[in-house]
């Protein structure tokens, strides 16, 4: 199952979470094996997703 990036973006929005906190929270909510998608990318792992969202 691939989860859309907006599910994570809402958690990050207007918060100053550390990367380690986000990794732990996302992996707990969606599992360590979850993959994510964005309009321009798919099969993104959690760390890649956080990096991608931080660039936006």
Distance CA 49, CA 41 (A): 10
pLDDT at 11: 66
pLDDT tens figures, 13-27:
666 778 888 889 888
Domain layout of the chain by residue ranges = 2-55
- What's the alpha-carbon Rg for the chain, to the nearest Å? 10
pLDDT tens by residue, the chain, 56 residues: 688 777 777 666 666 778 888 889 888 888 889 898 988 888 999 899 888 887 87
Interacting residues of 34 by C-beta distance below 8 A, sequence separation 6+: 1, 3, 26, 27, 46
Pair 20, 28: CB distance under 8 Å: no
């Amino acid at each position: 199952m691939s989860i859309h990036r907006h599910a994570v973006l809402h958690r990050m929005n207007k918060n100053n979470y550390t990367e380690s906190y986000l990794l732990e929270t996302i992996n707990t909510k969606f599992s360590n094996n979850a993959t994510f998608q964005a309009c321009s990318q798919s099969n993104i792992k959690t760390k890649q997703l956080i990096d991608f969202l931080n660039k936006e």
